[in-house]
Homo-oligomer: A and B are copies of this chain.
Amino acid sequence: MNKITSTIKAIKPLDKAAMAKAQERQGTLTKPPGSLGRLEELSIRLAGVQRKPLPVIKNKVIITMAGDHGVVAEKVGNWPQEVTAQMVGNFLHGGAGINVLARQVNARIIVADMGVARDLAAHPSLLIRKCGYGTQNMCICPAMTAEQAVQAIETGIDIVSAEIAKGLDIVGTGDMGIGNTTPSAAICAVITGKPVATVTGRGTGLSDDQLKHKVNVIERAISCNHPDASQPLDVLAKVGGFEIGGLAGVMLGAAAHHVPVVIDGFISGAAALIATSLAPVVKEYLIAAHLSAEPGHQIMLDHMGLTPLLRLDMRLGEGTGAALGIFLAEAAARTLAEMATFTEAQVSEEEAKK
């Protein structure tokens, strides 16, 4: 049995008993029932994921995976490919958006080179796990081989498993890859069945004409490769990316170990479509941090039945939305665990309850 299959086999539905206990405790805390809204729901789900009535969100990691994309040859964006590698350097020096937000929420960052187009200098905080030097141009041939698709997902499983072995309460996903809204939109179109034009957005800021061209590129990639929507590995190989496959692996590996995953925006959403197509139960382990400004993101989340916590018109990626989502997950867990009960605080309860 290969690693992907065995990982999927290890993923259980949430622990209903722990959820029932968390829900019961919510009703005893000094507040009107339900008045913490989605934080209460989230605390109960975290209990089910972590399989304990009082979930803990203390040890936090954000895994940011980088990869390049051959489809940039079709001029789908305005940024030069070298920016992927340069931004990895920025992550390693602590100057990117994700560094600032991870510091604020006290999460450590794991940066993984899943397939940047050039060799990166070794760095103690960088995992070099290349599945290739960028994908192929998916307008001409599959983005990667079937073997590379498996490798990317397995690498993600390995990376998150190693972190979990060190102790981990929650993982956030992040990405860096010039051009990667293009494969993400392609995955979204194939898996959700929505038209390419509906799920494709302006990425880092395209004009109307450029957006039209991007839609055309994605349509050509799909018609040239015929990805099979019922075979997530086939979709990943034909129109995906190395960092997208890696993040799907992170989601599978975390779920197998009962660790909640806060997914970032559009690229993490594409990875989540792959992961949840491989194993639908993974949905229960995913917390949608925010709604990206990319129009396809809502379609992805709807397809998976996930409701984003935040709507801040962010579209930076890197895991920036996930960092904010981790903060809210911590708030959910802490209010459940730390608030006093009516009995402890000697506060009278609602008349109707008496």
- When distances are taken between beta carbons in the complex, the residues of chain B under 8 Å from A29 are 97
Provide the bound-state CA to CA distance between A328 and B312, in Å.
10
A307 to chain B, nearest CB (A): 10
Provide the bound-state CA to CA distance between A86 and B345, in Å.
8
A25-42 interface code vs B (CB 8 A; 1 in, 0 out):
000011111111111000
Q: In the bound complex, do residue A331 and residue B339 qualify as a contact, i.e. CB atoms below 8 Å apart?
A: no
Contact of A330 among B104, B328, B352 (CB under 8 A): B104
- Among the stretches A142-150, A251-259, A313-321, the one at the interface with B is A313-321
Counted per complex, copies of this chain come to: 2
Provide the bound-state CA to CA distance between A314 and B96, in Å.
32
- When distances are taken between beta carbons in the complex, the residues of chain B under 8 Å from A203 are 32
Q: In the bound complex, do residue B314 and residue A311 qualify as a contact, i.e. CB atoms below 8 Å apart?
A: no
Provide the bound-state CA to CA distance between A227 and B93, in Å.
60
Whether A89 sits at the interface, judged by CB under 8 Å, is yes
Q: Which residue of B lies closest to A39 (CB)?
A: B312
Contact of A100 among B95, B103, B334, B351 (CB under 8 A): B334
A340 to chain B, nearest CB (A): 3
Whether A83 sits at the interface, judged by CB under 8 Å, is yes
Whether A78 sits at the interface, judged by CB under 8 Å, is yes
- When distances are taken between beta carbons in the complex, the residues of chain B under 8 Å from A346 are 86, 89
Whether A327 sits at the interface, judged by CB under 8 Å, is yes
Whether A82 sits at the interface, judged by CB under 8 Å, is yes
- When distances are taken between beta carbons in the complex, the residues of chain B under 8 Å from A38 are 312-314
- When distances are taken between beta carbons in the complex, the residues of chain B under 8 Å from A316 are 31-32, 35-36
Provide the bound-state CA to CA distance between A103 and B38, in Å.
20
Provide the bound-state CA to CA distance between A315 and B32, in Å.
9
Given contacts A78-B351, A327-B327, A346-B86, contact A36 B96 (CB under 8 A): no
Provide the bound-state CA to CA distance between A35 and B320, in Å.
10
List A residues 33-71 near B (Cβ within 8 Å): 33-39
Whether A230 sits at the interface, judged by CB under 8 Å, is no
Whether A205 sits at the interface, judged by CB under 8 Å, is yes
Q: Which 3 A-B pairs have the closest CB atoms?
A: A95-B340, A37-B313, A32-B204
- Give 16 A-B pairs besides A35-B315, A309-B312 with Cβ atoms closer than 8 angstroms: A32-B205, A36-B97, A36-B316, A36-B320, A37-B313, A38-B314, A78-B350, A79-B351, A80-B348, A83-B348, A90-B347, A100-B335, A101-B334, A104-B334, A310-B310, A311-B311
7 A-B interface contacts by CB (under 8 A): A30-B97, A36-B320, A83-B348, A100-B331, A100-B334, A103-B338, A310-B310
